[in-house]
Each structure stands twice: as C-alpha cells, then as structure tokens.
Chains A and B, each alone.
Chain A
Amino acid sequence: MSNGHADPKSIRIPDGHDPADVFERHRAELERSRRAATLLYGGLFVLALAAAVYISNFYPDKLAAGVPKIGDYIYDILPVLDPALLFAGTKTEGSIAYWYFNLPKYLQLLAETINMALFATIFGAFGGFVLCFPASRNLAPNGWVYFLCRRYMEFCRGVPEVIFAIAFVWAFGIGPLAGIVAIAIHSAGALGKLFSEVNENVDTKPMEGIRASGGSWFDEIRHGVVPQVLPNFVSYTLLRFEINIRASSIIGFVGGGGVGQELYYVINFNFYEEVSALVLLIVATVTCVDLISERVRHRFIGRENLVRENLA
C-alpha cells in the first residue's frame, strides 16, 4: 500500500527470505542476547556491591558517627601558631620556624625520596622494556615465552610494593635500597604491561620488511618496532615517575627508606605538630613533581605531534 513517499511497485513484500527481513531477525536476536548479558552482569554487579557494603560495614549511621572523629586527629596534629610570633626563631613556641625546626632533615629525606623514585622508575622502565616485547601477542617468538613473560609481569605488579619492601628490608637491611628494588619490580610489571599493549597496536609492515631483508627477531624489534613505540614508552615512564614519587614516600613505613620512615616515626610517637609539618611538605613535593613531570610529558607528546604534522 502506498503512503505517498514511495512507489508501491518498488517495495518488496518481505517473504522471510528478504534481506531486510533476515537482517531484522538477526538484529532482534542480537538485541535479546545483549539484554540478557546486561541483566546478568548488572545483577552480578549489584550482588558484589551489596556484599562489599556488608563486609566493610559501610553503613550511614557508622559513617555519621565516625566523621566528626576524623576532625579530632586533624585538630590534634595542627600546630599552635601565634600570629605575633610567626616569624620568630626556632626556639620560640608559636613560630613557623619552631613548627618546622626539623626542616633540614625533612628536606634531606625528601631528596632521598625523589631519588628513590627516579632510580626505581629507571630500573623499572628498563625491566618493562625488556619484558614487553616477548609479552606482546604479536611479537612473542613463541607461546611459551609469551605465557611466562605475561605471568611474570602479573606477579611483579600484582604483589604490592610494601610486601616486596618488607622482603627486601630483610635481605638488604633498612634503607632506600630495599625501597628502590621493591618499587622498581612493581614498576617493571606495570610498565611492561602498558608497553606490551602499545606494542600490540604496532604497524607490522616495517617488521615484515626487515624480516624479508634477512633481519633477525631482534633486528625486527630494534628497527621495526622500537622507533614506532618509543614516544609512548617515554610518556608512560614519566607518568610512572609521578606514581613512584607517591609510592616512595610511603615505602619507608616498612623500612624502605625515604621520608616515609620519618612519618611513621612521628605518627607512632605522637609528635603531633611534626606529623602535620611532614604531611604538608610531602603533599607540596608530590604536587610539584606531578606538575613538572606532567608538563614535560605533555611537551614531549606535543612536540611529537608537531613534528608529525610538520612533516606530513
């Protein structure tokens, strides 16, 4: 029947084998299976959420009762500052200098923390770089190597840094070495996974070109893959550096060196004012490093894009 906008002769009546009909049937089928999946996984999610609430005692009344107490501790660690004596010397109670009397030590520990993060990031990036090629589905020389590298990286990043640090404190003694090794291992696992995902999106034509000219697997990786993925690797490594700054300021809690050790000490001994002094300093440092490394990273990516556009 004609409704004005089409020639009725050109409309084929669907007879069950009509392409449009077949398509609609297929679509309805797909929609049904999708809806079933949504319901199933949605239901599982709600169940998991309920279990989490139950296990963690995440109840409104508990929250309401606990929130004011958060303020208590914060109030305790706040320094007593006297506006009139704010810029007096280290011996005068109520001055900033009195509050931060231990600043030289803090700064030294913060420098140590940043150094730990730096070394751990460098070693971790190196480890991730070595592991990521055999751990990429498209590059792995064989299934066994791929499987082993994947599992090894999972182990590296699956175990929390703090656990590694405890083990290494036993081995190397209290100090930054244990922290560096712990964070480096975790970074190697985390970066290796990110790197291998970059590798899996690589254009394989250059590799084929190198293989066809008599290059080995290492030649293919070195000349066919690395030039393509290196900018992304650098970007991820800088991002990891930001994360490692935070990690290395905590790792001292278990004896892994850096500012965390001092923080643990002042918290345990209830040196309230020193807790706030140290925490503020750590927050400021982490923020600074974050900002700087983000700038470097964006500049790097930006320059890459710029170069590409200019040449294209």
Chain B
Amino acid sequence: MLQIHHLDKHFGTVRAVDDVSLQIPNGQMVGVIGRSGAGKSTLLRLINRLAEPTGGSITFEGQEVSTLKGRDLMAWRARCSMIFQQFNLVNRLDVITNVLLGRLNYHGFLDSMLKRFSLAERAMAIYALDRLDMAQTALQRADTLSGGQQQRVAIARALMQEPRILLADEPIASLDPRNAAVVMDALRAINKEEGITVVCNLHTLDTARAYCDRIIGMQAGRVVFDGTPDSLTTDAAREIYGVDGLDEALSESVTSSSLGSPDDGAEPRRAAVA
C-alpha cells in the first residue's frame, strides 16, 4: 500500500502539488489525468523522490519514504521504478547495457564503474527484452531505435530493478498511436502478470479509461476526481480539463470510442493532445 498524506510541493509561489492525499493498494493500475501543468509529473517525481516534497508524507508498506537519504533513498528509487516521456536512455550505450543499468542499485561502486554484471543478470535482461519483443535489438545502440522501441527498452530497464511500483510519466506522449498502444499494453501486462502497482500519467481521458482500474483527475495541483473509469462523468471531466479542454478530451473520446478493447488491434487511441 502506497499512502500519500497531505503532500505539498511549492515552486516559489506556485503550488504544483497542493495537499494531495491518496491511498493506492498494491497491484492497482492507476491513471492520473489532467491538463499540462496540473501537477501530474510533479506528483510522480515526488513519489520517486526526484523532487523533494515541501510538506506532507509518503509511506510505502508503513515505511516513511519522504525523508529517506543516501543509500536508503537510492534503494527506494530502485523499488519504485520510473519511465519517462523522453525515455531517458543513454543513447551512446547499447540496449543490453541500458537495461542492465536498472541493476546498479544491486551493485557496489567498483562493479558499477567497471560495468561488471553477472551472467544471470544478462540473462534476466534478455528475458525482459524478449518479453517486450525487443531481444533482437540487444546489441544495437539505443539511439538507433524508434521512440516506441526506446520506451520498451526503458520498461525493460525498470523491470530489472525488480520494482514494487512502476511510475510512468507521460509514457506515450512522444509516440505515434501504434507504438502508444504497444507501450500501454506492455504496462498493463506487467501490472496484471507481476502484480506491480502502475501509476501512469496520461494526457487523455480515453487512454486512461481503456487501461486503468482507477482514475485520478488533477487540476491546479489538487486531486479533483478519484474513482473508477465508469464513474468519470462529463461533469467530473469538465472539472479536470476545464470548459475549453473538455471539448478536446471529449472529441478524442469520440474518435477512439470505436476501439472498444485495447487489444483488438484497430487504430488505437490518440497519443497526445495536439
């Protein structure tokens, strides 16, 4: 159980995250939606501790994680993996090394400096890649891959951390619709098969509806909606996106409403608001 109590993050006078309280049970797939600047990214970065909270607390399985320092903080980040909109791979390294970097927290200084990984870890990396249908690219440099492929490598790196939680910060916003579907399918499979909690920032309503067990809507740093996809009414969506944004969000729902199940292979949902 991930518990967030009255979490605040202020940048100067801007309240990026404003008094957010949430309880996320293990194994849930949560979509966080909202307009740009609603505080979605900041919330995820606070959980992973890439950003320092101004106030409030975050606990996981009863352990306070918002005050961790040094090695404990790094260990928490390893258990709470994260993928990014821009993938954040090391372009000049090959794919397998990028995936193995997810193991850094399990190694000492010297192993890391000398890139010493075990045979078992390399096998683990190949299985992770294979599961995402990327094993054949293992020896290519990361920057030779397409965006969708890079995001799958990033997911493989995240899996190498043996995480309890996977945070995904706009994982499909830089991808075309086909690749967006592949990545979202992968995240859902990981959630269902491994029971890893997935918290995924999404720009659009329809993707969240199609993939998530639970939707959290944010507006101006506050949580304004928290419920199942079915209970997300037009009124609730209006509060999340504002009156202008709602038209966008709804029109997108219409264009992708024909999709039905995300697995049916038809033209998938739009990746991002233009």
- The reply to whether A212 and B141 form a contact with Cβ atoms under 8 Å apart is no
Task: Note all chain B residues with C-beta closer than 8 A to A205.
Answer: 84, 86-88
List 17 A-B residue pairs with CB atoms under 8 Å apart, sorted by A's residue number. A209-B87, A210-B101, A211-B50, A211-B77, A212-B81, A213-B157, A214-B75, A214-B77, A214-B79, A215-B112, A222-B113, A223-B90, A223-B93, A223-B101, A224-B90, A311-B140, A312-B144
- The reply to whether A212 and B88 form a contact with Cβ atoms under 8 Å apart is yes
Q: Is B267 an interface residue when CB atoms closer than 8 A count as contact?
A: no
Q: Is A33 an interface residue when CB atoms closer than 8 A count as contact?
A: no
The chain A residue sitting closest to B114, CB to CB, is A222
- The reply to whether B89 and A209 form a contact with Cβ atoms under 8 Å apart is yes
Interface size for A (C-beta < 8 A) is 21
Residue in B104, B144, B154 whose CB lies within 8 Å of A214:
B104
Task: Note all chain A residues with C-beta closer than 8 A to B89.
Answer: 206, 209
- The reply to whether B112 and A208 form a contact with Cβ atoms under 8 Å apart is no
- The reply to whether B105 and A311 form a contact with Cβ atoms under 8 Å apart is no
Q: How far is the CA of A209 from the CA of B86 in the complex (A)?
A: 10
CB distance from B74 to the nearest CB of A (A): 4
Task: Note all chain B residues with C-beta closer than 8 A to A213.
Answer: 77-78, 81-82, 101-102, 104-105, 157-158, 161
- The reply to whether A218 and B92 form a contact with Cβ atoms under 8 Å apart is no
Q: Which residues of A contact B (CB under 8 A)?
A: 203, 205-206, 208-216, 218-219, 222-224, 227-228, 311-312
Q: Which residues of B contact A (CB under 8 A)?
A: 48, 50, 74-79, 81-82, 84, 86-93, 97, 101-102, 104-105, 109, 112-113, 115, 140-141, 143-144, 154, 157-158, 161
The chain A residue sitting closest to B86, CB to CB, is A205
Task: Note all chain B residues with C-beta closer than 8 A to A219.
Answer: 101, 104, 112
Most-contacted residue by chain B among A210, A212, A215, A223 (CB, 10 A): A212
Task: Note all chain A residues with C-beta closer than 8 A to B101.
Answer: 209-210, 213, 215, 219, 223
Task: Note all chain B residues with C-beta closer than 8 A to A203.
Answer: 91
Task: Note all chain B residues with C-beta closer than 8 A to A212.
Answer: 48, 50, 77, 81-82, 84, 88
Q: How far is the CA of A251 from the CA of B141 in the complex (A)?
A: 45
Most-contacted residue by chain B among A214, A223, A224 (CB, 10 A): A214
- Nearest 7 pairs between A and B by C-beta? A214-B78, A209-B88, A214-B105, A227-B92, A212-B82, A214-B77, A206-B90
Task: Note all chain B residues with C-beta closer than 8 A to A211.
Answer: 50, 77
Q: How far is the CA of A245 from the CA of B255 in the complex (A)?
A: 69
CB distance from B75 to the nearest CB of A (A): 6
The chain B residue sitting closest to A307, CB to CB, is B141
Task: Note all chain A residues with C-beta closer than 8 A to B144.
Answer: 311-312
Extra pairs beyond A208-B50, A218-B112 (10, CB < 8 Å):
A212-B82, A214-B77, A214-B105, A214-B161, A215-B104, A218-B109, A223-B115, A224-B90, A311-B140, A312-B143
Most-contacted residue by chain B among A205, A209, A223 (CB, 10 A): A209
CB distance from B83 to the nearest CB of A (A): 8
Task: Note all chain B residues with C-beta closer than 8 A to A206.
Answer: 88-91
- The reply to whether B93 and A208 form a contact with Cβ atoms under 8 Å apart is no
CB distance from B2 to the nearest CB of A (A): 16
Q: How far is the CA of A223 from the CA of B90 in the complex (A)?
A: 7
The chain A residue sitting closest to B106, CB to CB, is A214
CB distance from B156 to the nearest CB of A (A): 11
Task: Note all chain A residues with C-beta closer than 8 A to B143.
Answer: 311-312
Q: How far is the CA of A219 from the CA of B154 in the complex (A)?
A: 17
- The reply to whether A218 and B113 form a contact with Cβ atoms under 8 Å apart is yes
Task: Note all chain B residues with C-beta closer than 8 A to A208.
Answer: 50, 84, 88
Q: How far is the CA of A280 from the CA of B169 in the complex (A)?
A: 65
